[in-house]
Structure 1
């Protein structure tokens, strides 16, 4: 029976060696580029195809430049697709933008009307103070000469007109405030929350983009889904591209954070 021990050990050693050999030559996700093409492209987003291609190239660089390695490559014939799909999420974004613009216009209208009210009120109070002082002066002397009396009477009428205008302006201001606050309340209830990254989706076969407002938002969503395509998971830093919420990232100057870079190096087996 001892004769069978040695061959079994040899077989095990060979198997282990083969496994080690396979592990040695196993490729990481970063060893060759992910070739992609553009699939469905809905023009209702208001972005041209050429602009979208340019944004994709910019997004590639977000991940490639920090490790000086090509990770993505555009190929019109590639099976991996990036799709721009217009659905209720983008409709919601359009609605949010319109409501926010309405708030901005309302705020501007209120500011202009408030300035008009403040200016007129200052003028009114200054004139009223002078008028009352002069009336008091003449009353203390038993009455004003006819010329001064007529002038003060006309001035009193003008002050009454100014007071009526101030009341009308105050009513308009209060009405604007009520409408503005109602709009702000509606906006806060519907939209003023950090957005979970459902604007895009990577499913292993393609990337679908569903929602963005500005091109800088689109670049961030693309970068986030490109990260998932590199097998990266979410990280904890709210400023990171791979954070699970679209919240505190610097979309105007999009760069990966230390946490993003560490995750990338780990996936690419870089020191």
Structure 2
């Protein structure tokens, strides 16, 4: 009885090896069966969103060959898992920092627009004030010259005194208006100065954050967002559903037997970061690798 069990085990092993050998010899002839397994909710995506991303990733390869390369089966040969660990924590920290940079840039732009508006208004009012002040000074000098002339003659006649008093009243009204204009101009100037200081503070904070971001995340990294070990596709990190689709497409490429390619815009490039996410598509290098591996049937 033990001998028959041993023989049965041997036959099963031979069958498995034969199946693997057949698959290696005839790649892409039968669809790879897939199953969506673990989806850690700390990623912030639903199971339906993950499944949609997986199907979109499958379609990229299938459309290129015009036939089914993957199918879903509860008893699948390849399970797809989304496993949350320190890599995704790092990605989320990076995204938060990048969002802070974008918010700072938006705030700086808004403050800049406000500064430009107030500075333009201030400059216009300053020019008006200078013109009014110059006109006042000119009239005041003329008035004072007349007064001095009449005083040198021993005083002005009554009719001249009346006109001088009228001019003096007008000059006093102009002076009061100039004082009001000066106070308003100083308020405008204080607003302009405050906006300039606020803009500079935002710029300095942005530059500090940018320095931190570049030192921590500026260098492109090897494509370790996911891995395929022959039985499982495990995704460790992604920014959003579109990026998840890219990671899944990359690992599905490995499941098809594709290696890395040199084109930095290709899905199968070893370094992530330069692939176009929207719309996601296969590069020429991806297509060449796929056709070399799978051919056309």
- The TM-score, its normalising length taken from structure 2, stands at 0.77
Counterpart residue number, 1:127: 125
Check the 8 A contact 2:136/2:174 in 1, yes or no.
no
Counterpart residue number, 1:215: 241
Cα distance, 1:120 vs structure 2:
1.5
Cα distance, 1:160 vs structure 2:
1.9
Q: CA RMSD in A?
A: 2.2
- Within the candidate set 47, 61, 66, 1:68 is matched to 66
Name the SS of the counterpart of 2:268 in structure 1.
coil
Counterpart residue number, 1:49: 47
Deviations 1:205-259 (A, max 9, x none): 2111001112111111111111111111111222211111222222222222222
Looking at structure 1, the residues matched to 56 and 132 of structure 2 have their Cα atoms a distance apart, in angstroms, of 73
Aligned in 2, Cα 1:159/1:243: closer, same or farther, shift over 3 Å? same
Larger Rg belongs to: 2
Counterpart residue number, 1:34: 32
Deviations 1:39-81 (A, max 9, x none): 3221111222222222222221111122123221111122421
Cα distance, 1:90 vs structure 2:
0.9
Cα distance, 1:140 vs structure 2:
2.5
Looking at structure 1, the residues matched to 275 and 284 of structure 2 have their Cα atoms a distance apart, in angstroms, of 13
Counterpart residue number, 2:252: 226
Cα distance, 1:116 vs structure 2:
1.9
Note the 1:45-124 alignment, pairs <5 A.
Answer: 45-124=43-122
How many residues are matched? 249
**Residue 254 (1) aligns with residue 280 (2):** yes
Check the 8 A contact 1:28/1:267 in 2, yes or no.
no
Looking at structure 2, the residues matched to 126 and 254 of structure 1 have their Cα atoms a distance apart, in angstroms, of 51
Looking at structure 1, the residues matched to 171 and 281 of structure 2 have their Cα atoms a distance apart, in angstroms, of 80
Looking at structure 1, the residues matched to 262 and 269 of structure 2 have their Cα atoms a distance apart, in angstroms, of 6
Looking at structure 1, the residues matched to 24 and 84 of structure 2 have their Cα atoms a distance apart, in angstroms, of 39
5+ long unaligned stretches in structure 2: 1-20, 144-169
Looking at structure 2, the residues matched to 61 and 198 of structure 1 have their Cα atoms a distance apart, in angstroms, of 22
Looking at structure 2, the residues matched to 24 and 189 of structure 1 have their Cα atoms a distance apart, in angstroms, of 48
**Residue 187 (1) aligns with residue 226 (2):** no
- Within the candidate set 160, 168, 178, 2:204 is matched to 178
Which one is further off, 87-96 or 114-123?
Answer: 114-123
Aligned in 2, Cα 1:211/1:24: closer, same or farther, shift over 3 Å? closer
